[in-house]
């Protein structure tokens, strides 16, 4: 059984819940990623912010990314996967919640991120097509 830990991108960098979306956008650019975990002052995961969130939930609604905090976009309980959970469980979670990226948690610690691309690299071509169909909208 292949686990999330085996296919994840380790060392996910967080944006602080009190940091601005402008800071988040710069981090995304510097890291060449489309999503960042949002971490609280207690170092616990509070959510995930995506480049699309910044555009749709801030800019398109007239918000200012220089003053809007990342934490203000972290809604509800974050959707995660355990480091030792199977790739099949990650796919099921992505499908159920219609997300393309999952923070990987070991206990309460954020240890990485699993993306649709990470999973695709571990599957056969036929399985990749099914994965994309299940997750995409």
Q: Can you say how many angstroms the Cα of residue 57 is from the centroid of all Cα atoms in its chain? A: 16
Q: Return phi, psi of residue 58, to 5°.
A: -120, -70
In the block, tokens 């990749």 appear at 128
Helix extents (H) in 33-86: 51-53
Count the neighbouring beta carbons within 10 Å of the beta carbon of residue 71: 18
Looking at residue 5, its pLDDT comes to: 95
Q: Domains in the chain, please, with CATH? A: 4-135 (3.10.580.10)
Looking at residue 135, its pLDDT comes to: 60
For residue 113, give Cα distances in angstroms to 33, 58, 69: 11, 24, 22
| Structure token digits, residue 33 | 């990623």
Looking at residue 44, its pLDDT comes to: 86
User: H or E stretch including 83?
Assistant: none
Q: How far apart are CA 77 and CA 93, in angstroms?
A: 14
Q: How far apart are CA 50 and CA 79, in angstroms?
A: 14
pLDDT tens over the chain, length 137 residues: 889 999 999 988 999 999 999 999 999 999 999 999 999 988 789 999 999 999 999 999 999 999 999 999 877 788 999 999 999 899 999 989 988 899 999 988 899 999 988 988 877 666 666 666 666 65
Nearest by Cα to 113 from 57, 40, 42, 36: 36
């Amino acid at each position: 059984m292949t686990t999330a830990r085996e296919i994840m991108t380790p060392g996910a960098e967080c944006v602080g819940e009190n940091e601005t979306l402008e800071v988040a956008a710069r981090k995304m650019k510097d890291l060449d990623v489309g999503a960042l975990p949002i971490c609280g002052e207690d170092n616990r995961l509070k959510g995930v912010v995506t480049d699309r969130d910044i555009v749709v939930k801030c800019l398109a609604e007239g918000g200012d990314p220089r003053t809007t905090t990342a934490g203000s976009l972290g809604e509800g309980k974050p959707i995660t996967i355990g480091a030792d959970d199977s790739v099949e469980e990650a796919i099921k979670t992505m499908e159920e919640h219609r997300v393309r990226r999952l923070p990987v948690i070991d206990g309460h610690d954020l240890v990485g991120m699993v993306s649709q691309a990470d999973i695709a690299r571990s599957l056969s071509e036929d399985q990749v097509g099914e994965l994309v169909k299940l997750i995409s909208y």
